[in-house]
Amino acid sequence: MTSKILQSPTHCRKTDPNPTIRGPRIMLYSHDTFGLGHLRRSRALAAAITSASSGASALILTGSPVAGRFAFPSRVDHLRLPGVIKRADGSYASRTMGMDIDETTDLRANLILSSAQSYAPDVLIVDKEPNGFRGELMPTLAHLKEHHETKLVLGLRDVLDEPEVLAAEWERKDALRTTETFYDEIWVYGTRSVYDPTQGLELSASAQNRMHWTGYLRRDLGEIDPPPEQPYILITPGGGGDGAAMVDLVLSAYEQSSDLEPRAVLVYGPFLSGETREEFERRVAALNGRVTAVGFESKIETLFAGAQGVVCMGGYNTFCEVLSFDKPAVIVPRTTPRLEQWIRASRAEELGLIAMLDEQRDGLTPASMVRAIKALAQQKLPSAAAQSEGLLDGLDYVTARVAALLQGTVSKAAE
């Protein structure tokens, strides 16, 4: 679904002494304090939007420490914000030497504002956090609202957290007021039939009318590299920062069941490292090829495409990949610090999209993992589920919404 509006370039600003054709400019913000999810979602959105228009460009503002390890499409670039880390107690610290968290937040806020002033986006898409990390986005939202005609969009994944927990978090951050005041539209990257992430939030009727359920964001199904030797199942804990328990469980299953097939291809993720990773490497070597492992794979789509099945955690992006490549999957969701993954996996299992290995129901034991891996061969594909129709229309829907939002800015710029 490619819009004529997206294909039409925006005229240059009247103040430009050397007029040139100015295409639509899309800015995407993702705070990215941990993991890969926000960056990968923003990257998928930027690629789809720029592919729909030969004149559009996109700039991603991200705090991800591994942003430079990804390839970005033509006319998509990124600005790396100073990094922060989340401690075990839930507090944050700066990755920047000699700066405390307040100084780092101020620096990030100033970089975001100056980037918005210089880039002058036609549309700003904010991922998950209405105010940004520790409120760092507020000066930019106020500036764009007052001085530009930028359309402001809040993008939410399909599940955020338990309704009561989410309501308390948004009240503490004053996020509900920000959403009501600043955002022209709210996009949910999922379907209402799976879950409503705004449960528990007292959104006004006006805000609810500005909500759009886009569908899930399909992953790239274009040209891929040759897959590894087959058959194999793919084991992926996403970014890996919270995936040690799942990796341990899979390795234990192969260690305790000598006839477990097929072999496994394990991608640790960039955040599973140190002594834990070294011990996993030792165990993988001892399995004599029944499990092979790599640290990071920027083109993990190739591994998904060739896999007979997938064992993974329940993050949003991994779930989208399972659906996009139509693979039977066993999801082992984390339950802390949020129930997000468990909610997503349990709903998906109810709808027949995947199988879940639930700690309370099944037990997280080597035996339960062996059973789950063996059952993949008989498991139905996600496309066979009753709720699969239109499930992956998210990117088409987003490009259409961007086109609709640009109508006002394009016509006014041409006056």
**Per-residue confidence in pLDDT tens, the chain, 415 aa:** 444 334 433 434 444 445 467 899 999 999 866 556 678 899 999 999 999 988 999 999 998 776 666 678 889 999 999 988 777 666 788 877 689 999 999 999 999 999 999 999 999 999 999 999 999 999 999 999 998 889 999 999 999 999 999 999 999 999 999 999 999 999 999 999 999 999 999 999 999 999 999 999 998 767 778 888 899 999 999 877 788 999 999 999 999 999 999 999 999 987 788 999 999 999 999 999 999 998 877 678 899 999 999 999 999 999 999 999 999 999 999 998 889 999 999 999 999 999 999 999 999 999 999 999 999 999 999 999 877 778 999 999 999 999 999 986 443 433 3
Would you say domain 4-218+393-413 falls under CATH 3.40.50.2000?
A: yes
* 141 touches 112 (CB < 8 A): no
**Whole-number Å distance between alpha carbons of 406 and 410:** 6
Q: Which amino acid would we find at residue 388?
A: S
CA 370 to chain centre: 29
- Name the CATH code of domain 232-387 (choices 3.30.70.1150, 3.40.50.2000, 3.40.50.11540, 2.40.40.20): 3.40.50.2000
**Domain range list for the chain:** 4-218+393-413, 232-387
DSSP-assigned letter for residue 59: E
Q: Which residues contact 126 (CB under 8 A, 6 or more apart)?
A: 28, 29, 132, 137, 152, 153, 154, 155, 183
**Residue 33 confidence (pLDDT):** 63
Q: Which residues contact 2 (CB under 8 A, 6 or more apart)?
A: 52, 53, 399
**Whole-number Å distance between alpha carbons of 157 and 161:** 10
Domains 4-218+393-413 and 232-387 are alike in CATH topology: yes
Q: Specify the 3-state DSSP secondary structure of 352.
A: coil
**Residue 72 confidence (pLDDT):** 83
Q: Is 39 exposed, middle or buried (0-12, 13-18, 19+ CB in 10 A)?
A: buried
Q: Which residues contact 357 (CB under 8 A, 6 or more apart)?
A: 330, 331, 332, 364, 368, 369, 372
Q: Pinpoint the alpha helices (H) of 194-294.
A: 205-209, 244-256, 274-286
On the CB side of 37, CA atoms within 13 Å amount to: 26
Q: What angle do CA 238, 239, 244 make, to 5 degrees?
A: 80
What pTM was estimated for this model as a whole?
Answer: 0.89
Nearest to 40 by CA among 84, 2, 75, 78: 78
Q: What angle do CA 395, 269, 91 make, to 5 degrees?
A: 90
